[in-house]
Amino acid sequence: MARHSPRDTHGESHNVHNAGWLRAAVLGANDGLISTSGLVVGMAAAGVELRTLLLTAAAGLTAGAFSMAAGEYVSVSSQVDVEKADRAVEERELAEQPKSELQELTSIYQRRGLTPELAAQVARELTQHDALQAHLRDELGITDHNVARPAQAALASAGAFVAGALLPILVVLLYRGPGLTTALTASTLVLLGVLGAVAAKLGGAPIGRGAVRVIFWGALAMGASALIGKVFGTGAVV
Q: What is the pLDDT of residues 120-132, one digit of tens each?
A: 888 888 888 888 7
The region of weakest confidence among 18-27, 61-70, 156-165 is 18-27
End-to-end CA distance of the chain: 67
Using only C-alpha atoms, the chain has a radius of gyration, in whole angstroms, of 25
pLDDT at 10 over 70: no
Spatial CA neighbour of 147 closest among 10, 12, 19: 19
pLDDT, greater one: 141 or 42: 42
Can you tell me the distance from the alpha carbon of 194 to that of 203, in angstroms, rounded to the nearest whole number?
Answer: 14
Can you tell me the distance from the alpha carbon of 132 to that of 127, in angstroms, rounded to the nearest whole number?
Answer: 8
pLDDT at 5 over 60: no
Spatial CA neighbour of 30 closest among 200, 223, 175: 200
- Looking at residue 2, its pLDDT comes to 41
The region of weakest confidence among 18-27, 28-37, 105-114 is 18-27
- Looking at residue 65, its pLDDT comes to 92
Q: How many CB atoms lie within 10 A of CB 41?
A: 28
Contact indicator for 21, 156 with CB cutoff of 8 Å: yes
- Looking at residue 110, its pLDDT comes to 84
pLDDT, greater one: 1 or 32: 32
- Contacts (Cβ under 8 Å, ≥6 apart) of 175: 183, 184
Q: Which of 46-60, 83-97, 194-208 has the highest mean pLDDT?
A: 46-60
Can you tell me the distance from the alpha carbon of 15 to that of 89, in angstroms, rounded to the nearest whole number?
Answer: 31
- Looking at residue 23, its pLDDT comes to 62
Spatial CA neighbour of 26 closest among 196, 225, 205: 196
pLDDT at 42 over 70: yes
Contact indicator for 72, 154 with CB cutoff of 8 Å: yes
- Looking at residue 234, its pLDDT comes to 58
pLDDT at 89 over 90: no
Spatial CA neighbour of 45 closest among 160, 188, 162, 184: 184
